[in-house]
C-alpha cells in the first residue's frame, strides 16, 4: 500500500466516504473553492470560468494523480466521476490540522445533495461578492447575472445567497 499525502486526493476520499458516491470534476472544483472560503488555504488560485470559479492548478493535480493511478475516473455518465484507488493507495491530508479536517468534513456534509449547478451558482455568487465593492444583495445578484447571464433565475440566486452566513459573508442592505 502506497501512502499519498495530498489534500485534493484527501478531499475526493472524504466526499466518497461522507456522500457514499464519487464527485465529478465540477463538484470537486466548487467544494475546494468553498473550503478555501472557510479559511483553509489549499493553495489553489481561482479565476472565473464558464462554470464559475475554476482552478487550473487543481485540475492539473487531479489529472496528474489520475495518470499516476491514484485517482480513478468513471466516464460512464455525463460527469467524470472520481474515486481513490483504495486497493493500492492510502490517502492522507497534507499539513492539515484536526480542526481543518473537521471543517472540511463539515462543509462536505453541509453541501451533500447539492447539484453541480447549485454549487456553480453558490461559488459564482461568492466570487462576485469577493470582487465587488458594493456588498449589497442587488449588487451581488447583478454580479451573478453579469457572469452567468440568464442561466439562473432571480429566485435561484436569492436562494443561493442564504448560504452566505455559513461562510461569514455579510450582505449589506
Its pTM stands at: 0.95
User: What is the 8-class DSSP label of residue 162?
Assistant: G
Residue 86 belongs to a domain with what CATH number? 1.10.10
Which three cell numbers mark 131? 470582487
User: Is residue 173's pLDDT more than 80?
Assistant: no
5 and 22 part of one domain = yes
> Using an 8 Å Cβ cutoff, are 23 and 31 in contact?
yes
Give buried/exposed letters for 20-37 (b at 16+ CB in 10 A, else e): eebbbbbbbbbbbbbbbb
Of the three residues 75, 90, 113, the one that is the final residue of a domain is 113
150 and 131 part of one domain = yes
128 and 146 part of one domain = yes
| Parent domain of 67 | 1-113
20 and 61 part of one domain = yes
Radius of gyration of the chain (CA): 16
DSSP 60-76: HHHHHHHHTTSEEEE-S
54 and 76 part of one domain = yes
Residue with cell 489553489: 44
Give the model confidence (pLDDT) of 117-138 as tens digits.
Answer: 999 999 999 999 999 999 999 9
In the chain, the number of structural domains is 2
71-74 vs 81-84, strand pairing mode:
antiparallel
82 and 148 part of one domain = no
Of the three residues 96, 113, 130, the one that is the final residue of a domain is 113
Which three cell numbers mark 49? 470560468
C-alpha distance from residue 45 to each of 1, 52, 62, 66 (Å): 31, 13, 15, 21
Give the model confidence (pLDDT) of 146-167 as tens digits.
Answer: 999 999 999 999 999 999 999 9
21 and 98 part of one domain = yes
159 and 82 part of one domain = no
84 and 9 part of one domain = yes
CA count, 13 A, side-chain hemisphere, 134? 9
User: Is residue 77's pLDDT more than 80?
Assistant: no
Amino acid at each position: 500500500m502506497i501512502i499519498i499525502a495530498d489534500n485534493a486526493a484527501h478531499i475526493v476520499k472524504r466526499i466518497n466516504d461522507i456522500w457514499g458516491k464519487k464527485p465529478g470534476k465540477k463538484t470537486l472544483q466548487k467544494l475546494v473553492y468553498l473550503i478555501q472560503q472557510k479559511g483553509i488555504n489549499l493553495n489553489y488560485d481561482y479565476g472565473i470560468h464558464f462554470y464559475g470559479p475554476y482552478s487550473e492548478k487543481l485540475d492539473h493535480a487531479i489529472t496528474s494523480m489520475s495518470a499516476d493511478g491514484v485517482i480513478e475516473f468513471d466516464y460512464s455518465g455525463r460527469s467524470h466521476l472520481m474515486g481513490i484507488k483504495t486497493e493500492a493507495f492510502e490517502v492522507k491530508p497534507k499539513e492539515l490540522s484536526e480542526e481543518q479536517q473537521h471543517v472540511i468534513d463539515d462543509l462536505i456534509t453541509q453541501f451533500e445533495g447539492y447539484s453541480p449547478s447549485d454549487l456553480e451558482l453558490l461559488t459564482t455568487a461568492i466570487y462576485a461578492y469577493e470582487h465587488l465593492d458594493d456588498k449589497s444583495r442587488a449588487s451581488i445578484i447583478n454580479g451573478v447575472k453579469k457572469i452567468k447571464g440568464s442561466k439562473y433565475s432571480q429566485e435561484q440566486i436569492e436562494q443561493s445567497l442564504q448560504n452566505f452566513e455559513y461562510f461569514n459573508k455579510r450582505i449589506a442592505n
